[in-house]
Amino acid sequence: MVEETTATEPLDFIRRQVEEDLRTGYFDGVVMTRFPPEPNGYLHIGHVKAICVDFGIAEDYGGACNLRFDDTNPVKEETEYVESMIEDIHWLGFEWKELLYASDYFDQLYEWAVQLIKEGKAYVDDLSPDEIREYRGTLTEPGKNSPYRDRTVAENLDLFERMKNGEFPEESRVLRAKIDMASPIINLRDPVMYRILHTPHHRIGDKWCIYPMYDWAHGQSDSIEGITYSLCSLEYVNHRPLYDWFLDQLGIHHPRQIEFARLELTYTLTSKRRLRRLVEEGYVNGWDDPRMPTIRGMRRRGYTAAAMRNLITLTGISTANSTVDFGLVEYAVREDLNRVTPRGMAVLRPLRLTITNYPDDQEEWFDIPTYPQDKENPATHQAPFSKEIAIEQEDFMEDAPSKFFRLAPGREVRLLGAYLVTCTGVVKDEAGQVVEILCTYDPATRGGNAVDGRKVKGTIHWVGARHGVPAELRLYDRLFSQEDPEAVEEGQDFTANLNPHSLELLDNALVEPFVADAANGSHFQFMRQGYFCRDADSTPAKPVFNLTVNLKDTWAKVSGG
């Protein structure tokens, strides 16, 4: 009798809650989420997690997810960011039910504020920002009531209306919720609901002189949209009691808020302020620099949407702050690229190899499998071979240890897809540097196999010198040299941890013809080297490729390289 084994993946704690609600009918079977970014910067790897959680959970349970821009602060927000975010989310492969803005709800929010004033639950405060801070108390001491806290409803109504009409300067007054200045939860000490801002809004112009605070806008926005799961990061745990209070006073739909930990990665920074400094101070070449953890940067680097989404699955969702090893990102990227990426040959640092017994004017075009990793896909491409070819400098050692399976004097290796060659000598310049390798080839090994059945341990890649195409290769490494970029000595900042070798330009690389012709954005594996992505900086004369991620390199580890 065979046991039925139901090996189900364990659910994360959010999905488990959703399933329980579905079972009990808590929200009548509705699963509605939203991704609520503030349009004040570019989306980065941290947002990828939020996006995958918000959209992913809706997707998993037949629900829907809105994209809502939380645009409550006109001094920081711009349309440019709205557009880039839309593009980035689409690139990740998600589609929203509705595209909305918190500013869509400003009228409703205003009405609700008036309602709270009428009920004696909100008041206009004339205290200055400094005074408000003083009156708020500290983490261990209670705050005290503002002298304006007990104004009459009529006076509050009048003042609030005049705030809206622009009669007062910024910072002269705010509207506050009347809750409890002695609450141990600081968010409940009469939080500000509206402030005066004479700044036009990027979408709705100068219609408003007062703008709702995030805390006043967010929960109600979710409520209006019928959101059932308000998924957010851990720091909002402290705000939940306030959102609950607002929703309860108003008596409107109450989403279930569930907080989860943000994604942090070693060697990576996700603070908007920090990323902005990297760009503005020229440490990187813009927001889409392939070293940036922005979605645009990663995309240009050659990371795929599938890899990013899988990374989130791999890291999981929990309520414990954690920092994921960057190696997991590389794993996710390699795993996705390995399956589908065409293979080509590129010599990063060329060394001339001359086959002395190969006819001077002979030329052969070898059929090289383009997808050797996929036995189902027999596609090949042609690689030109002649007397002179280029090999990788690393693939030759004059005084090689026995474990070195590549070319060395007297040793035989396979030129991938072509012939077996044996090194017979080297040519050196005046400085004693090896500038050329001399080899003989065995004509009976065409395609790379010896008729006599002898084996060679090493196979190296090559590019024909006659038809190889010069290319620029940009080798990227992690942007920071410390796991925690913020870990610096007294008096220094994170820029002290910038990795000086995060970009290495290889201007003399050679690629085989078929990769040179690819479209920008095409992915390749340059065999034995890594995954590369053709950059938009390519010109017809010279293609440019970005290193997405290198291949694992056991030899480098063994040899101490």
Partner RNA sequence: UGCGGUGUCGCCAAGUGGUAAGGCAGCGGGCUUUGAACCCGCCAUUCCUAGGUUCGAAUCCUAGCACCGCAGCCA
133-172: which residues touch RNA (CB under 7 A)?
A: 133, 136-140, 170-172
Applying the rule CB under 7 A, the residues between 441 and 500 that interact with RNA are: 447-449, 455, 458-460
Q: Which of 121, 136, 240, 262 is catalytic?
A: 262
| Among the listed residues 327, 410, 443, 521, the single contact to RNA using CB under 7 A | 327
| Among the listed residues 184, 200, 286, 425, the single contact to RNA using CB under 7 A | 184
Neighbours of 523 (CB within 10 A): 18
Q: In this chain, which stretch among 157-165, 381-389, 401-409, 462-470 interacts with RNA, using CB under 7 A? A: 401-409
Tell me whether residue 30 or residue 331 sits nearer to RNA (CB atom). 331
**339 catalytic residue (yes or no):** no
CA distance 180 to 355: 87
Binding-site size, RNA (CB under 7 A): 89
- Find the shortest distance in angstroms from Cβ 186 to RNA: 4
Are 286 and 531 spatial neighbours (Cβ–Cβ below 8 Å)?
no
- Find the shortest distance in angstroms from Cβ 215 to RNA: 6
Structure tokens given for 548:
């997405």
Applying the rule CB under 7 A, the residues between 358 and 377 that interact with RNA are: 372-373
**Binding flags for RNA, 47-76, as an x/- string (CB under 7 A):** -----------------------x-xx--x
CA distance 113 to 188: 16
Q: Is the dihedral of CA 527, 530, 532, 538 positive or negative?
A: negative
Nearest to 458 by CA among 408, 526, 503, 530: 408
Q: Please list the helix, strand and coil fractions of the chain in percent, rounded to the nearest 5, in that order.
A: 30, 25, 45
Q: In this chain, which stretch among 92-100, 316-324, 433-441, 467-475 interacts with RNA, using CB under 7 A? A: 316-324
| Among the listed residues 280, 375, 378, 403, the single contact to RNA using CB under 7 A | 403
- Find the shortest distance in angstroms from Cβ 553 to RNA: 6
Tell me whether residue 459 or residue 481 sits nearer to RNA (CB atom). 459
Applying the rule CB under 7 A, the residues between 231 and 260 that interact with RNA are: 234-239
Q: Which of 15, 38, 161, 240 is catalytic?
A: 38
**38 catalytic residue (yes or no):** yes
Nearest to 532 by CA among 554, 555, 509: 509
Amino acid letter for position 65:
C
The torsion angles phi and psi of 249, rounded to 5 degrees, stand at -60, -40
CA distance 530 to 381: 19
Collect all residues with Cβ–Cβ distance below 8 Å to 42 and sequence separation of at least 6.
Answer: 81, 84, 85, 88, 275, 287, 294, 295, 296
The DSSP bridge pattern shows strands 346-347 and 350-355 to be unpaired
Applying the rule CB under 7 A, the residues between 4 and 33 that interact with RNA are: 10-13, 16
Question: Which whole-number Å values give the CA distances from 80 to 84, 151, 202, 286, 499, in the listed order?
Answer: 6, 42, 10, 15, 30
Applying the rule CB under 7 A, the residues between 74 and 93 that interact with RNA are: 76
Q: In this chain, which stretch among 207-215, 223-231, 277-285, 540-548 interacts with RNA, using CB under 7 A? A: 207-215
**Binding flags for RNA, 540-559, as an x/- string (CB under 7 A):** -----------xxxxx-xx-
In 3-state terms, what secondary structure has residue 436? strand
Radius of gyration of the chain (CA): 31
Q: Which of 76, 136, 272, 274 is catalytic?
A: 272
Are 485 and 323 spatial neighbours (Cβ–Cβ below 8 Å)?
no
Tell me whether residue 314 or residue 426 sits nearer to RNA (CB atom). 314
Residue numbers annotated as active site: 38, 262, 272
